[in-house]
Amino acid sequence: MTTSENFAFATNAARGGRPLEATGPVVAPLDTATTYARATDYSPFEGRIYSRDHNPTVERAEIALNVLEGGQGSLLFASGMAAASAVLHALHPGDRICMPRVMYWSLRNWIVRFAEHWGLGIDLFDADEPGSLERALVAGQSKLLWIEPLLNPTWDVIDIAAAAAAAHDAGARLVVDATAASPALCRPLDHGADIVMHSATKYLNGHSDLLAGALTTGSDDDFWHSIRDYRVNGGAVLGAFEAWLLLRGMQTVHLRVERASQNAQRIAEHFIEHPGLNAVLYPGLMSHPGFDVAKRQMRGGFGGMLSLRVRGGFDAALAVARNVRLFVRATSLGGVESLIEHRASIEGPNSPIPDDLLRLSIGIEDADDLIADLEQALAAMR
């Protein structure tokens, strides 16, 4: 993989991970070929045979991501769920997975269902309870600790370095879903993680117009080779056009994430004592229990995600979501537009999320306009 040549993150992002193509285009070319010709001696040109194994556009996007994450290799997938599934398929029946009780709901449910089918054990821990993570790991049996540094959607903070130490002491690998932070704010490999996962649909792309997933490894080992083999043979590859869009998105990830973080910080500080709210959940508030850890393992801000707990419970929270005019009522995060979502309604009756919680993905609009929209939505329910 191409190295960063010690450039700053913003420089590496803007240049797409490597210099200009040898043929001269400033913008990365789009190669849509699905198959590649062989030479007269039947050897493949540049080792490429079929696009499920190799595609120049996908490879360039993988190089760009690897530079941003500081890894030993990156792989792109058709979605974030496909990337997560590739990690799960590298496990063996009888292995155990340790993960938070509260995390991205769809992935948590899928891991539980997959574990039942694959013969894997599941051990859950409560991120806000000291010692819970360490107690949930089973020495010699736990093979994977899966965490989010910012737990979606409560935004509790997990110490990556401490989690890595606990995982490695138990003989497990640490996989970090860093979707809500992006490498612009946090590089888990720098803190001891073994693999970083992203739903690249979100901040890495940043424009809500493609599905993609990504994994970056800190070690080119047998476990990584198993993941790569599953990506190829399972067909969970990313298309060339999607890779081209993702590469374009990653070139501005630092600018978008910086603006979203600034906006989220302003919104969190504005509403922290609002009479219509029970709580503002944002790791950038000094009153947040995880503020010191977040400050240590993140740089340049605390992200664009926050949650509001609305006074009055389920009905009041839904009323606020109905009354917004600028925020879009939609699932997802990390785009340039601001979104609002009542998570308990989405997750259903078994959700561990409080029914007064609204999850906000803050975009790059003017912060005063976003604040005014939430103010009028909260005022309308009184």
277 strand-pairing partners: 310
| Same domain as 181, residue 135 | yes
Of 250, 285, 306, the one marking the end of a domain is: 250
Residue 104 annotated in active site = yes
Predicted pLDDT at 22: 55
Hey, what are 42's tokens?
């039947």
Same domain, 21 and 115: yes
Q: Which two structure tokens, joined as six digits, stand for 167?
A: 């995982």
Residue 1 lies in a domain: no
Q: Is 282 a catalytic residue?
A: no
Residue 45 forms part of a structural domain: yes
Active-site hit among 36, 96, 104, 256? 104
pLDDT in single tens digits along all 382 residues of the chain: 445 568 899 998 988 866 545 556 778 889 999 998 888 888 888 888 888 888 999 999 999 999 999 999 999 999 999 999 999 999 999 999 999 999 999 999 999 999 999 999 999 999 999 999 999 999 999 999 999 999 999 999 999 999 999 999 999 999 999 999 999 999 999 999 999 999 999 999 999 999 999 999 999 999 999 999 999 999 999 999 999 999 999 999 999 999 999 999 999 999 999 999 999 999 999 999 999 999 999 999 999 999 999 999 999 999 999 999 999 999 999 999 999 999 989 888 888 899 999 999 999 999 999 999 999 999 987 6
Pair 34, 110 in one domain: yes
Backbone angles phi, psi at 93, to 5 degrees: -50, 135
- How distant is the alpha carbon of residue 232 from its chain centre? 22
Confidence (pLDDT) at 1? 46
Residue 227 CA to residue 215 CA, distance in Å, equals 9
Domain match, 123 and 224 both: yes
User: Are residues 282 and 228 located together in one domain of the fold?
Assistant: no
The per-residue pLDDT for 4 is 59
In a domain, 174, yes or no: yes
Task: Classify residue 112: in a domain, yes or no.
Answer: yes
Both 228 and 342 in a single domain?
no
97 and 156 in a single domain? The answer is yes
Cβ(166)–Cβ(145) below 8 Å: yes
310 and 199 together in one domain: no
Question: Do 220 and 262 reside in the same domain of the chain?
Answer: no
Domain residues for 308? 254-380
Take residue 316 and report the two structure tokens written for it.
Answer: 């009041």
Task: Choose, from 52, 248, 295, 311, the residue flagged as catalytic.
Answer: 52
Per-residue 3-state assignment (H helix, E strand, C coil) for the chain: CCCCCCCCHHHHHHCCCCCCCCCCCCCCCCCCCCECCECCCCCEHHHCCECCCCCHHHHHHHHHHHHHHCCCEEEEECCHHHHHHHHHHCCCCCCEEEEECCCCHHHHHHHHHHHHHHCCEEEEECCCCCCHHHHHCCCCCEEEEEECCECCCCCCECCHHHHHHHHHHHCCEEEEECCCCCCCCCCHHHHCCCEEEEECCCCCCCCCCCCCEEEEECCCCHHHHHHHHHHHHCCCCCCHHHHHHHHHHHCCHHHHHHHHHHHHHHHHHHHCCCCCEEEEECCCCCCCCCHHHHHHHCCCCCCCEEEEEECCHHHHHHHHHHHCCCCEECCCCCCCCCEEEEHHHHHCCCCCCCCCEEEEECCCCCHHHHHHHHHHHHHHCC
Whether 15 is catalytic: no
Residue 287 burial (CB count, 10 A): 9
Contact 156, 175 (CB under 8 A): no
Residue that has been written with the tokens 């997938």 in this structure:
77
Which of residues 250, 278, 310 is at a domain's end? 250
Chain centroid, CA 300 distance in Å:
17
4 domain-assigned: no
Pair (171, 30) in one structural domain: yes
Answer whether residue 24 is part of any domain: yes
CATH of the domain at 325: 3.90.1150.10
Report the C-alpha gap between 341 and 380 in whole angstroms.
18
Structure tokens given for 163 = 């989690």
Q: Which of 31, 156, 177, 194 is catalytic?
A: 177
Q: Do 61 and 187 fall within a single domain?
A: yes
Residues 258 and 188 in one domain: no
Q: What is the pLDDT of residue 3?
A: 52
Question: In CATH, what number is assigned to the domain containing residue 193?
Answer: 3.40.640.10
**How many domains does the chain divide into?**
2
Domain end residue (candidates: 235, 250, 265):
250
Residue tagged active-site, from 48, 96, 108, 202: 202
Which amino acid, 318? L
Packing angle of the helix pair 80-89, 222-233 (nearest 10 deg) = 120
Q: Are 377 and 320 in contact (CB under 8 A)?
A: yes
- Decide if 96 is inside a domain: yes
Annotated active-site residue 52? The verdict is yes
The Cα–Cα gap between 299 and 290 comes to 15
Q: For residue 166, tell me if it sits in a domain.
A: yes
